[in-house]
Chain A
Amino acid sequence: MTQTTQIDTQEDIFELGGKRFTNRFLLGTGKFKSKQDMADSIKASGAQIVTVALRRIDLERHEENIIEYIPEDITFLTNTSGARDAKEAVRLARLAREAGHGSWVKIEVINDSKYLLPDNAETVKATEILAADGFTVLPYISPDLYIARELVKAGAAAVMPLGSLIGSNQGLKAKEFIRVFVDEIDIPIVVDAGIGAPSHAAEAMEMGVDAVLANTAVATAKNPAQLARAFALAVKAGREGYLSGLPAKKDIASASSPLTGFLYEE
């Protein structure tokens, strides 16, 4: 009797910051045309971790509270966007913690408005301070191995290397540097920024990263909820591909059918 290959149907648990998740797709909440679009995208993707930002309230216009559109069981990851140095990032993180939605922080320290590249050195400084202050710290960085090692030492819960420039939808331009992280860094790797299509997310997961975050692509799609769902499916597919043990690439062909028993007249 033939045996069937066992597919491990045990749930793939993603451990991050002391919590256990079943979805490796993280969703950003910026740039949506409406808060309802954002809520629909969270639901369609099943994302369990979402990023939010902190800004001054508008004293002239009274905006709806975004929290009302985010399910209660979601883990909030507040970014420190707007911070130009470690001190400002620490200030934002501590303010965010006061809201009572946990103390997870995505450190985002950016000094340049053209490329929005993170300041890796200031990010390390902020990580040291906030990790010591009890925050669950996820630092957003350009994929520099030495910086990643310092972040591990500083107590980061994960590293978030960029795929490509924020909002560019360029995909995994930093692929080979992310691959170095997969080989050398032991804490979770969450690829963030520039993820413009589900195929980018699947590609990252196939390499062995732990999770993927996307925002702009989903928020600016014609059908955000549908793209959010596609991303979640792609992350699952990429993860399963990685776990299955992908075969190596080859430079020459390797026949798929037998090379003997051809129907030739010799």
Chain B
Amino acid sequence: MRVIINGQDKEFNGPKNLRALIEEVCPDSSKVIAEVNGGIVKRDAWDAHSIREDDRVELVSFVGGG
């Protein structure tokens, strides 16, 4: 299954929910904020949210900034 994460094409074994996808690419998922196809997915909805072929996923976190 092709998923576009942070602008990069990645291949995953599907089916997958968002939590599983995030934990596969980011060990410290506690810092992650997720958006799928332009919509924010709240943390407590990660388990229920199924990832589909060609979904665009953005995973962001806080960094230092002025």
Which A residues contact B (CB, under 8 angstroms)? Answer: 28-32, 35, 38, 51-57, 59, 62-63, 65-67, 76, 78-79, 81, 94-96, 98-99, 101, 166-167, 193, 213, 215-216
Q: Quick one: given A67-B31, A95-B40, A98-B40, are A56 and B65 in contact (CB under 8 Å)?
A: no
Task: Let me know if B66 and A31 touch, CB within 8 A.
Answer: yes
Task: Let me know if A65 and B33 touch, CB within 8 A.
Answer: no
* Given A28-B65, A59-B26, A65-B62; 12 other pairs, CB 8 A cutoff: A32-B64, A35-B64, A54-B62, A57-B25, A57-B26, A63-B63, A66-B61, A66-B63, A67-B31, A81-B66, A166-B66, A215-B66
Task: Let me know if B33 and A31 touch, CB within 8 A.
Answer: no
Task: Let me know if B66 and A54 touch, CB within 8 A.
Answer: no
Task: Tell me, rounded to whole Å, the shortest Cβ–Cβ distance linking A192 to chain B.
Answer: 8
Task: Let me know if B62 and A52 touch, CB within 8 A.
Answer: yes
Which of A52, A57, A193 has the most B CB atoms < 10 Å from its CB?
A57
List A contacts of B61 (CB < 8 A): 54-55, 57, 65-66, 99
Q: How far is the CA of A193 from the CA of B65 in the complex (A)?
A: 12
Interface residues of B in 34-66 (CB under 8 A from A): 35, 40, 42-43, 58-66
Q: How far is the CA of A56 from the CA of B43 in the complex (A)?
A: 17
Task: Let me know if B66 and A59 touch, CB within 8 A.
Answer: no
Task: Let me know if A81 and B65 touch, CB within 8 A.
Answer: yes
Which B residues contact A (CB, under 8 angstroms)? Answer: 5-8, 10, 25-28, 30-33, 35, 40, 42-43, 58-66
Task: Let me know if B63 and A59 touch, CB within 8 A.
Answer: no
Q: Quick one: given A59-B8, A59-B25, A62-B28, are A79 and B65 in contact (CB under 8 Å)?
A: yes
List A contacts of B59 (CB < 8 A): 56-57, 59
Which of B28, B40, B63, B66 has the most A CB atoms < 10 Å from its CB?
B66
Task: Let me know if A95 and B35 touch, CB within 8 A.
Answer: yes
10 examples of A-B residue contacts, CB within 8 angstroms = A31-B64, A52-B63, A52-B64, A55-B60, A56-B7, A59-B59, A66-B62, A81-B65, A98-B43, A99-B61
Task: Tell me, rounded to whole Å, the shortest Cβ–Cβ distance linking B24 to chain A.
Answer: 10
Task: Tell me, rounded to whole Å, the shortest Cβ–Cβ distance linking B32 to chain A.
Answer: 6
Q: How far is the CA of A57 from the CA of B33 in the complex (A)?
A: 9
Task: Let me know if A52 and B25 touch, CB within 8 A.
Answer: no
Lowest 9 CB-CB distances: which A-B pairs, in order? A53-B65, A28-B66, A215-B66, A29-B64, A65-B31, A56-B6, A30-B64, A30-B65, A30-B66
